[in-house]
């Protein structure tokens, strides 16, 4: 076999590359630009640190168990895991195209040869079996970086899906905390409501006695009776809300609706203290949803590179070696050896605009990814700002509720002392106690609201997620480079 003339081969490649370059890329549009930290007016000072497992600061083993169960059993998270496995397989498929492909084959071909063909009688005009064993190899040489870019695009998509899975886990965690806190609030209010109902019954009985004694008009009973009925309605509504909260927790943890019917959460406590939070450059790296969208931008950028490489010549090399014979007894003789090598160059010259359309589609997908990134950043910053202000406001409201509760308790105690001194009647004492219970109910709601805001702020700041990548600047536009 003659040795290949590499000078001629190189010249042919250069010629085909020049011809391929003659095919224009189509209309060149200005690519979308990711929002910069300067445009977002993000400060340089350090943000508060949110640690992984931040919910454990609540010191509630039952809540920790519910979160662990949700992270293991929630169907939505299993879907995220399956999507990640699929993305990893796609990376493997892309990587496989970078190397040679080798396959073995064994064929039996029974054929009647033409009497007037290339083979004269006795082969011509008769049936013969042709036995072939071969080993073939092919390799598409990646001169223009198409396969490398395809691998990077697949890796970027895999990273984005992995990060989306982390965001889903963060959202599930916050949802479990929210429903658990809501159940705590409902049960605390239910216990307090029982005391309020007992107090209302005492008020009604005392009012009835005073009406009978002619000390109060009969209409005074009506207000007390309405109050007792209103409390009974509230009790029924709270019981229904408690069931719904348990059903929601069961669904979040991947269990049947009544699996947590006997769940009795720990008493509601205030949220842990949290350092003063601020929105900084670091939020772009602390939130997995933002980093996921940036990974998609980079993946789409590589897809544009793949689409551009389609305009250039495709150089491939294939070869085979094996044995072929008409009789199995001759199959392994030295003379039955077959060998072939086929270098090939595929040059797209005229495709009726297919390549240009494919490139335009890739550029559009890149722009979509950039704008999705920008929207995610804006939504994340709004979410973090809202969560920060809500946490601050609820902390102030909880402080006011705590002080108001202390004052109402002092007022109730003072009324009792005045009753003992004969300065007020028993009904005044019951009214003061009712005001105290109402204030305690307000404090329960304020405590729950502050804890929900605490969980939302931890989530909005990334829930302890961190990346080692440079995040001061979002993804750069390079697909026109």
Q: Give the pLDDT confidence score for residue 350 in this predicted structure.
A: 74
Q: Which residues lie below 8 Å from residue 398, measured CB to CB, with a gap of 6+?
A: 270, 443, 446, 447, 449, 450
Q: Which residues lie below 8 Å from residue 78, measured CB to CB, with a gap of 6+?
A: none
Q: Give the pLDDT confidence score for residue 17 in this predicted structure.
A: 52
Q: Give the pLDDT confidence score for residue 48 in this predicted structure.
A: 56
Q: What is the CATH number of domain 101-141+313-347?
A: 2.20.200.10
CA separation, residue 435 to residues 196, 199, 480 (Å): 10, 11, 70
CB distance 394 to 400 below 8 Å: no
- Report residue 291 as tokens: 């980093």
- State the alpha helices, DSSP H only, in 349-425: 354-420
Q: What angle do CA 374, 380, 386 make, to 5 degrees?
A: 135
Structurally, what CATH architecture does the domain formed by 37-98+142-311+348-460 represent? Up-down Bundle (1.20)
In 3D space, the residue among 360, 340, 356 whose CA is nearest the CA of residue 348 turns out to be 356
Q: Which residues lie below 8 Å from residue 235, measured CB to CB, with a gap of 6+?
A: 190, 193, 194, 197
- Report residue 235 as tokens: 């009790």
Q: Give the 3-state secondary structure of residue 324.
A: strand
Q: Give the pLDDT confidence score for residue 26 in this predicted structure.
A: 65
CA separation, residue 185 to residues 17, 145, 266, 285 (Å): 71, 60, 11, 34
- Report residue 317 as tokens: 């090399």
Q: Give the pLDDT confidence score for residue 161 in this predicted structure.
A: 93
- Report residue 363 as tokens: 């550029």
What is the spatial distance between Cα 363 and Cα 372, in angstroms, rounded to a whole number?
A: 14
Q: Which residue has the tokens 């640690």?
A: 51
End-to-end CA distance of the chain: 43
In 3D space, the residue among 392, 388, 383 whose CA is nearest the CA of residue 171 turns out to be 383
What is the spatial distance between Cα 183 and Cα 449, in angstroms, rounded to a whole number?
A: 12
What is the spatial distance between Cα 477 and Cα 104, in angstroms, rounded to a whole number?
A: 44
Q: Give the pLDDT confidence score for residue 402 in this predicted structure.
A: 92
CB distance 196 to 262 below 8 Å: no
What is the spatial distance between Cα 39 and Cα 377, in angstroms, rounded to a whole number?
A: 11
* Number of Cβ atoms within 10 Å of the Cβ of 220: 15
Domain ranges of the chain: 37-98+142-311+348-460, 101-141+313-347
What is the spatial distance between Cα 73 and Cα 69, in angstroms, rounded to a whole number?
A: 6
| Helix 426-460 with 354-420: angle, nearest 10 deg | 160
- State the alpha helices, DSSP H only, in 26-145: 37-40, 61-73, 75-96
Q: Give the pLDDT confidence score for residue 15 in this predicted structure.
A: 56
What is the spatial distance between Cα 85 and Cα 294, in angstroms, rounded to a whole number?
A: 20
Alpha-carbon Rg of the chain, whole angstroms? 38
* Number of Cβ atoms within 10 Å of the Cβ of 128: 14
- State the alpha helices, DSSP H only, in 138-218: 146-212
Q: Give the pLDDT confidence score for residue 49 in this predicted structure.
A: 65
pLDDT (tens, 9 = 90+) of the chain, 481 residues, equals 444 555 555 555 555 555 555 456 666 777 888 877 777 777 666 555 678 889 999 999 999 999 999 999 999 899 999 999 988 898 888 888 778 888 888 888 888 888 888 888 888 888 888 888 888 887 777 778 888 888 899 899 999 999 999 999 999 999 999 999 999 999 999 999 999 999 888 888 888 888 888 888 888 888 888 888 999 999 999 999 999 999 999 999 999 999 999 999 999 999 988 777 667 777 788 889 999 999 999 999 999 888 888 888 877 788 878 888 877 877 788 888 888 888 877 777 777 788 888 888 888 999 999 999 999 999 999 998 899 899 999 999 999 999 999 999 999 899 989 888 888 888 888 888 889 899 999 999 999 999 999 999 999 988 888 754 433 344 444 555 4
Q: Which residue has the tokens 């919910």?
A: 55
């Amino acid at each position: 076999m003659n040795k290949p003339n590499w000078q001629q081969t190189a010249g042919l490649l250069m010629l085909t590359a020049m011809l391929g370059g003659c095919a224009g890329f189509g209309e060149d549009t200005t690519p979308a630009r990711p929002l910069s930290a300067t445009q977002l007016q993000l400060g340089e000072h350090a943000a508060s640190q949110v640690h992984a497992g931040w919910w454990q600061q609540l010191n509630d083993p039952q809540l920790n168990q519910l979160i662990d169960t949700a992270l293991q059993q929630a169907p939505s998270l299993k879907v995220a895991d399956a999507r990640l496995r699929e993305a990893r397989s796609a990376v493997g498929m892309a990587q496989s195209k970078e190397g040679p492909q080798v396959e073995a084959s064994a064929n039996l071909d029974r054929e009647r040869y033409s009497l007037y063909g290339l083979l004269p009688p006795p082969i011509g005009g008769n049936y013969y079996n042709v036995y072939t064993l071969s080993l073939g190899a092919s390799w598409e040489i990646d001169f223009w970086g198409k396969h490398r870019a395809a691998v990077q695009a697949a890796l970027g998509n895999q990273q984005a899906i992995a990060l989306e899975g982390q965001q889903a886990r963060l959202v599930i965690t916050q949802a479990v905390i929210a429903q658990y806190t809501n159940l705590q609030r409902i049960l605390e209010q239910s216990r307090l409501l029982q005391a309020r109902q007992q107090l209302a019954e005492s008020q009604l009985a005392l009012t009835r006695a005073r009406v009978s004694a002619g000390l109060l008009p009969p209409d005074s009973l009506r207000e007390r009776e309405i109050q007792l009925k209103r409390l009974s309605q509230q009790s029924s509504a709270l019981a229904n809300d408690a069931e719904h909260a348990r059903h929601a927790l069961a669904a979040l943890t991947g269990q049947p609706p009544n699996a947590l019917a006997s769940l009795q959460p720990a008493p509601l406590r205030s949220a842990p203290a949290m350092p003063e939070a601020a929105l900084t450059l670091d939020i772009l790296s602390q939130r997995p949803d933002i980093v996921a969208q940036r990974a998609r931008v980079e993946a789409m950028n590589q897809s544009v590179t793949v689409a551009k490489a389609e305009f250039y010549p495709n150089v491939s090399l294939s070869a085979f070696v094996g044995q072929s014979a008409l009789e199995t007894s001759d199959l392994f003789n030295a003379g039955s050896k077959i060998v072939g090598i086929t270098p090939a160059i595929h040059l797209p010259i005229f495709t009726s605009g297919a390549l240009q359309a494919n490139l335009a589609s890739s550029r559009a997908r890149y722009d979509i990814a950039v704008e999705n990134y920008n929207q995610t950043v804006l939504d994340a910053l709004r979410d973090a700002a809202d969560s920060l202000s809500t946490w601050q406001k609820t902390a102030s409201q909880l402080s006011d509720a705590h002080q108001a509760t202390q004052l109402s308790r002092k007022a109730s105690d003072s009324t009792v002392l005045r009753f003992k001194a004969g300065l007020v009647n028993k009904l005044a004492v019951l009214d003061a106690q009712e005001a105290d219970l109402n204030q305690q109910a307000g404090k329960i709601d304020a405590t729950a609201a502050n804890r929900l805001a605490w969980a939302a702020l931890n989530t909005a700041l990334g829930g302890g997620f961190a990346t080692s990548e440079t995040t001061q600047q979002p993804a750069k536009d390079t697909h026109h480079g």
